């Protein structure tokens, strides 16, 4: 399988984040993609660089105001005060209920809070370049499907499925899965399905397509009553307006068994088949792994191969987009298990 990879991901390397009130090394770090790339090469998958500029699609899934902020954020941070290059900016105020978000503040920290759903997406000097390369990979994957490829894997970071049209969050800045889906729509696929199998609900992807019938969003994930992102991902969120009925959430309780997880996957696949999707985007979060530090599910390497086989049975041109997965050394093994299972299932 062709895998798209860019060394630009190395430019996004924040030194730390805050976890349970403590300053800790970032769970989402460059080693994640490096381990995956090494395993891909070992298994004989073809590595290519992204070849498509995602900007025309980015403006279809993200607001112009947000994109401008994100592209210039580090420059603005450096201009704020001497020595900021050695510091990481974090938001400290957010426009919650009754506060206005239509007027962009001049204050940098206030703007950062305007465009962030949490303080869990630390910026660094190369954040925009890395995120843009990931979006370019997603657009390139859609292009390769249009040229006859059965499936393409985007080995990119930072991940994207928590990023909404005008906000970052959960380590995510640009929504790669949404870029892939929109690019497939632009290429003529009338109905595209996005399947999110990350441990955490893809709130950003859901919100981008929530009122649309041309992109079906299906997600199986940890119950948001106890798991991030907490405020979206419930079963009663089924779409709005033209998109009513085209959003399916399958929240699962902490400690859900492997059998129950695959039963939910089967529900998801049945819904995608009923939708008569013409192409599939998989938000391939691998933090459902039993040894992942921020997961309570129990999937093992063989289970990821089974996942790939079931997705192949859908018979759809497929873009895989790497999302979460924070047991870094195992991430490559698990990713390749999915891809190998998919290829065996064809």
Closest CA to 324 of 139, 156, 207: 156
Task: Supply the DSSP symbol for 58.
Answer: H
Place of tokens 């997705």: 311
Q: Are 265 and 310 within 8 A, CB to CB? A: yes
Residues 6+ apart with CB under 8 A from 208: 61, 164, 165, 175, 178
The C-alpha atoms of residue 62 and residue 94 are separated, in whole angstroms, by 19
Q: Which of 45, 162, 201, 221 is catalytic?
A: 162
The C-alpha atoms of residue 322 and residue 9 are separated, in whole angstroms, by 12
For the four alpha carbons of 17, 129, 43 and 287, in that order, the dihedral sign comes to positive
Residues 6+ apart with CB under 8 A from 88: 14, 15, 16, 122, 123, 124
62 catalytically annotated: no
The C-alpha atoms of residue 218 and residue 221 are separated, in whole angstroms, by 10
Tell the burial category of 90 from Cβ atoms under 10 Å away from its Cβ (0-12, 13-18, 19+). middle
From residue 111, how far is each of 86, 159, 163, 201, 273 by CA, in Å? 20, 22, 16, 25, 42
Buried b (16+ CB within 10 A) or exposed e, 55-83: eebbeebbeeebbebbeebbeebeeeeee
Active site residues: 162
């Amino acid at each position: 399988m062709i895998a798209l990879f860019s060394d630009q991901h190395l430019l996004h390397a924040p030194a730390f984040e805050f976890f349970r009130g403590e300053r800790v090394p970032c769970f989402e770090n460059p080693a994640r993609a490096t381990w995956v790339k090494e395993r891909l090469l070992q298994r004989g998958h073809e590595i290519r660089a992204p070849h498509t500029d995602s900007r025309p699609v980015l403006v279809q899934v993200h607001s112009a105001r947000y994109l401008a902020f994100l592209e210039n954020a580090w420059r603005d941070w450096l201009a704020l005060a001497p020595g900021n290059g050695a510091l990481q900016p974090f938001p400290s105020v957010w426009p919650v209920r009754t506060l206005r978000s239509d007027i962009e503040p001049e204050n940098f920290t206030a703007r950062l809070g305007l465009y962030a759903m949490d303080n869990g997406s630390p910026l660094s000097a190369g954040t925009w370049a890395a995120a843009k390369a990931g979006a370019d990979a997603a657009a390139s994957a859609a292009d390769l499907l249009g040229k006859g490829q059965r499936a393409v894997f985007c080995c990119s970071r930072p991940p994207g499925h928590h990023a909404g049209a005008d906000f970052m969050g959960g380590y995510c800045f640009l929504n790669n899965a949404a870029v892939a889906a929109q690019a497939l729509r632009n290429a003529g696929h009338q109905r595209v399905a996005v399947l999110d199998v990350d441990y955490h609900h893809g709130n950003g992807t859901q919100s981008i397509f929530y009122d649309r019938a041309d992109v079906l969003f299906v997600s199986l994930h940890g119950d948001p009553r106890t798991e991030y992102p907490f405020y979206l991902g419930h079963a009663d969120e089924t779409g709005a307006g033209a998109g009513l009925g085209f959003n399916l959430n399958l929240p699962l309780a902490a400690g859900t068994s492997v059998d129950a997880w695959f039963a939910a996957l089967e529900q998801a696949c049945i819904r995608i088949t009923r939708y008569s999707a013409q192409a599939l985007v998989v938000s391939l979060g691998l933090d459902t792994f039993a040894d992942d530090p921020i997961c309570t599910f129990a999937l093992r390497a063989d289970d990821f191969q089974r996942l790939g086989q079931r997705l192949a049975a859908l018979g759809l041109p497929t873009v895989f987009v790497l999302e979460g997965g924070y047991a870094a050394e195992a991430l490559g093994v698990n990713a390749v298990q999915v891809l190998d299972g998919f290829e065996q299932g064809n």
